[in-house]
Structure 1
Amino acid sequence: MATRISLTLDCKDAKLLGGFWKTALGYVDEPPPAPFKTREEWHASFNLPAEDSVDDVAWLCDPDGIGPRLSILKVPEPKTAKNRLHIDVRVPGHGSPEERWARIRAKSELLVKAGGITLEEFNGHHIMMADPEGNEFCVAAARPEG
């Protein structure tokens, strides 16, 4: 059996990036672990310093339970270099190369409206973008197997 992974993204503004990545991935806020009813209640159970706010973290998950969990954590240091690992946002659906490219372009345009930036287009293949804090990712078509 394969090991499941979750991804963690450091940031300046967890709420901003949480909203962006929910739009990008179709993810939702992850519910708190049992027996807690809210994330605030769960967070308070750790008895953290007052300056550690529940607003400094966004916990996202795939509503279908297929994709990895995404934690977005506020950190004090700024982003200083290109990501060594990035996310590929795979746009579902198949069809002709023109149809796939149209779906890729439509998704990238939606993400620009959500605060993303287009960095470079590789016509017909993928679009390299950055989220509102400069984390690079690509928008591409889903591979034939999914």
Structure 2
Amino acid sequence: MAFRIDLTLDCADPTRLAEFWKLALGYVDEPPPAPFATREEWLQQFDLSKDDAEDGAWLCDPAGVGPRLFLQQVREPKVVKNRLHMDVRVADQDTAAERWATIAEAVRRLTGAGATVLEEVPDHHVVMADPEGHEFCVC
């Protein structure tokens, strides 16, 4: 039996970072679980202390194919390289030139949204960091 996975990113500003990842992945805000009208209403059932009730953002693939993404606010900053990173696959063209042009366009779009290029492996992939430093590859 296969299981679904969700990904969680610790971050300082989930609301801001959610906008970046919605652009990068084509994701949307995930609605609250039924029967709740809002995430705030859903969270109230857990009786969280003020310290535990930090900001968060829940994103999902509108097609229901990709993993859900939870952006969780944490106080401590990121200090080391990720042990796990995402590969954002944007290119499926037949020719290498078309494939690389698609990757380059995605990199331009993501740097415009606050990402940083860390390394380019020509004709294969680009290693980037999101606005809070989480590493990912565009391929």
TM-score of the two chains, using structure 2 as the length reference: 0.95
Per-residue CA distance 1:105-137 (angstroms, 9 max, x = gap):
100110011110011111110000000010000
Identity of aligned pairs, percent?
60
What's 1:20 paired with?
20
The CA distance in 1 between the partners of 2:50 and 2:75, in whole Å, is 16
1:100 corresponds to 2:102:
no
The CA distance in 1 between the partners of 2:61 and 2:68, in whole Å, is 7
The CA distance in 2 between the partners of 1:85 and 1:2, in whole Å, is 20
The CA distance in 2 between the partners of 1:29 and 1:4, in whole Å, is 18
What's 2:86 paired with?
87
The CA distance in 2 between the partners of 1:8 and 1:111, in whole Å, is 20
Count of residue pairs the alignment pairs up: 139
Once the 2 structures are TM-superposed, how far is the Cα of residue 47 of structure 1 from its aligned partner? 2.0
Alignment partner of 1:98: what SS? helix
AA partner of residue 137 (structure 1): F
What's 1:112 paired with?
111
The CA distance in 1 between the partners of 2:34 and 2:72, in whole Å, is 21
TM-score of the two chains, using structure 1 as the length reference: 0.90
Alignment partner of 1:37: what SS? coil
What's 1:128 paired with?
127
Alignment partner of 2:37: what SS? coil
Q: How does 1:28-67 map to 2 (within 5 A)?
A: 28-53=28-53, 56-67=55-66
AA partner of residue 138 (structure 1): C
Once the 2 structures are TM-superposed, how far is the Cα of residue 78 of structure 1 from its aligned partner? 1.0
The CA distance in 2 between the partners of 1:53 and 1:19, in whole Å, is 21
Alignment partner of 1:108: what SS? helix
Gaps of 5+ in 2: none
Gaps of 5+ in 1: 141-146
